[in-house]
Each structure stands twice: as structure tokens, then as C-alpha cells.
Amino acid sequence: MRKIVMSLTSAVSIMVMVVFSVVVYYNVTLPNQYYITEDSSLHLNRHFEIIAEKKMHKSVKGQVSKSLQPSDSTELKLLGIFPIKEVSVKTVERPMLIPGGSPFGIKMLTEGVVVIGIADVDSEDGYLCPAREAGIQVGDVILDIDGQEVESNDDIAGIIEKSQGSKVKVSLKRDDKKLTVSLEPIFSSSNDCYKVGIWVRDSSAGIGTVTYYDPKNSTFGGLGHPVCDVDTGEILPLMSGEVVAVNISGATKGVVGEPGELIGSFVSKTAIGKLLINNETGVFGTLNSVPTAFEAMPMVMKQDVEIGAAKILVTTEGNQPKEYDIEIERIQFRDKNATKNLVIRVVDPALLAKTGGIVQGMSGSPIIQNGAIVGAVTHVFVNNPEKGYGIFCENMYNFTQNIENEAA
């Protein structure tokens, strides 16, 4: 009898540990906010049954009441019994978006100038670096000097030379915090002018892929990840930017250890749209016309994306996208990993033959599943170009809903 009791106790203990572990795992990995539409309910396609229960109301297996208002609090429960966490559920109109897949050119002017290097200055007293002594770091964004806004290296050089060695106050931004430092220029013997020992960048250009176009307000989202400085890795602070037309002439094939890339060029200097936002989930702005001939299709919320077959829209030549087959192999909901929600694999023989899989320039290529936009390609696996990451389209779309206010 004692052995039976001990066995039962041991079994119960193991079950409690398993349940506790599963609850903790889902508490950490599941998002804190969900969107649903009036014609849908909250479904979580996980390994164990998770029931969404509106606070203070009777549990309804697998669904949330249509009467949920924005920011309604809902509790997720494992098997409808064990509380996991409280989440916010918002009822929204389902977006109808035109899928992209077409390439676009990015021309950006930064807000202020980005410090990309610190260097010593040769002076009468030897090699010194005023910028380093003032506490300026690589990645800082210089906004103004002595109250004068700076937008280029020439602006900085002019102000520094005019100072004739007198201290100047530098306003800069670092990690979203604004700082003011005192900087004392020194005379460079070799350059015969005053210097502070910094290298800066004031603009950037590149090629990406349109993810979607919203016909309701002529806005678009693309790239699926930010435009970053090539030297510092920091997100470039956008002051203004233009979208220009691009023609893809070919691609270099990706191999293990060396990502390939789409080869393209700007068709003209004439802008076909505006860039208004550059953040961790992509670039966003307005377009003067619809970028593709595709019909509008619904956008799927993150909890409705499924593991399995899907397609991507990619342009590998010219400016017209084509469909290619992929597999969604893994879905990750973690809020802190905004651009790596999906692990995808290219399985289409035609695309594999042409590019080897995912290459640079495909970032932003829309992912289509069951006739709806679910996400966009963001990164390639360097050690396996057939695979890469994708972002939920929902994460991108949130930044274009009110963008027309910025375009005005």
C-alpha cells in the first residue's frame, strides 16, 4: 500500500511540475496583446489547448466574445483550468491590403548626422581627440552645435572652423536620450584648420521590397527591418526620404557562408513616394500609385498564422513579382523579437535555381498563406541560404494606420 501511495505521489508531483513548466513557458513566450476582427475569435494554435476567458465572465472554449471592446482584459488558461497570464484583446476592422513584392529604392536623409568614427587629430601638443574627451561615442546622433542644426559634414566643419578653438555645446541623441556635451576644437597641423576628430554620415541609399500597399490611405510598408548604418549598426534617424523606382537586372546566388543579393539600379531620380518612418519593423511611407497589379487581400493576425505551406512574392528580374513556394517551419510570438517571428524555408525549385534561396534585397517580400498576407521576409540564415526569418505583417501594419497625418 505504501508503495502505491508513493508511486501516486510521485506521479502527481511530476504532473504538477510539467503543468507548471508549460504555464511558465507560455507566460514568457505568448504576446501580451492580440487583435481580433468582429467576424473572428481568438484561437491559439499551440501544442496544448489554451482557452481565452474574458475577465469576470464564463469561459468560452477557443473564442472571445464579439462584444470585447478595445483593451478588454482577457485571461489565458491552460486546458481552461490553469491561469497563464492576462492579455489585452482589441477588436479591429480586418485590413484589406494589396500585396507587394515589387522592388523599391530608398533614399534617406538622417535627422542630424550619425557619428560613424572617432579619430585623433594631429596638433601642436601631439595626437588628441576632442570628441572622445567630450564623451561623444560612435552611434551618437548630433542634432545641433551651439544651437545651430546640423544636417551634413559640411555644416559641422563650418561651425567648428568658425569657433576658432572656442568651446561649443553639442546636443546629441543616444539610445533615445538627449544629451549635451562641451566640445573644444583643436587646430590640425596637417589640415590647417580646426578639427574635433569625428566622422559622420548624413544619408543612406539602398534597395528593398514592398510588403503591402493600403489603398485606403495610399500608405505602404516594406523591408521588414530597419535601415541601419553600415558602420555602427544603429537605426538611422530619418529626417526625410524618398521612394524611387528600381529595376532588378539579376541576382548573385547565395551559398553557405556568403549571402547572395539582388542586383538592381535606380530607374530615375524622380520620386514615386515618400519615406516617413524607419523603425525596427521596417520602413513606411506613401506611394503615388499602386505598386503591383494584385487584388487586395485580407491581413491575418499573428495568432492565425499556421505552420506549413505558404508563398512569397519576389522580383528576381525587372520589376514584376512572381509567386514562389515556401514552408513556414516555426512560429515565435515573443514580443521582444519583432522581426524574427517566423522561420521559413524556400522549397520552390525555380527560386532555388536562380538565387539559392533568400538573398539580400528580398527583405520585405510578402508571405502569403491561404489567400491572405501573413508576414514578410526579413533575414537570411548565413549558414543555410534556403532558410530565413520573417516578421508578422501585423507588427508592420500598426505603423501605417495613422501615417497620413505625417504625410500632410
Task: State the cell numbers at 147.
Answer: 544651437
Cα gap 149→111, rounded to integer Å: 10
Task: State the cell numbers at 189.
Answer: 597641423
Pick among 3.50.50.60, 2.30.42.10, 2.60.370.10, 3.40.630.10: CATH of 120-196: 2.30.42.10
Spans of the chain, pLDDT less than 50: 56-70, 405, 407-408
Please, what is the end-to-end C-alpha distance for the chain in angstroms?
Answer: 80
CB 396 within 8 A of CB 279: no
41 is catalytic: no
Q: Which fold has domain 96-107+207-407?
A: Thrombin, subunit H (2.40.10)
CB 115 within 8 A of CB 200: yes
pLDDT for 129 = 92
Cα gap 85→256, rounded to integer Å: 41
229 is catalytic: no
The three-state secondary structure class of 315 is coil
CB 50 within 8 A of CB 76: yes
Catalytic residue among 140, 363, 365, 379: 363
CA torsion sign, 281 to 283 to 288 to 293?
negative
348 is catalytic: yes
DSSP per-residue letters across 201-242: EEEEEEEEEEEEEETTTTEEEESSS--B-TTT-PBP-EEEEE
Q: Which amino acid is at 12?
A: V
* Delimiting residues of CATH 2.30.42.10 domain(s) in the chain: 120-196
Catalytic residue among 171, 225, 229, 365: 225
Task: State the cell numbers at 14.
Answer: 511530476
pLDDT for 55 = 65
Q: Which helix (H) or strand (E) holds 7?
A: helix 2-29
pTM score, whole prediction:
0.79
DSSP strand pairing (33-37 vs 82-92): parallel
Catalytic residue among 72, 122, 146, 348: 348
* Delimiting residues of CATH 2.40.10.120 domain(s) in the chain: 96-107+207-407
pLDDT for 404 = 54
121 C-beta neighbours (distance < 10 Å), count:
22
Q: Which amino acid is at 297?
A: M
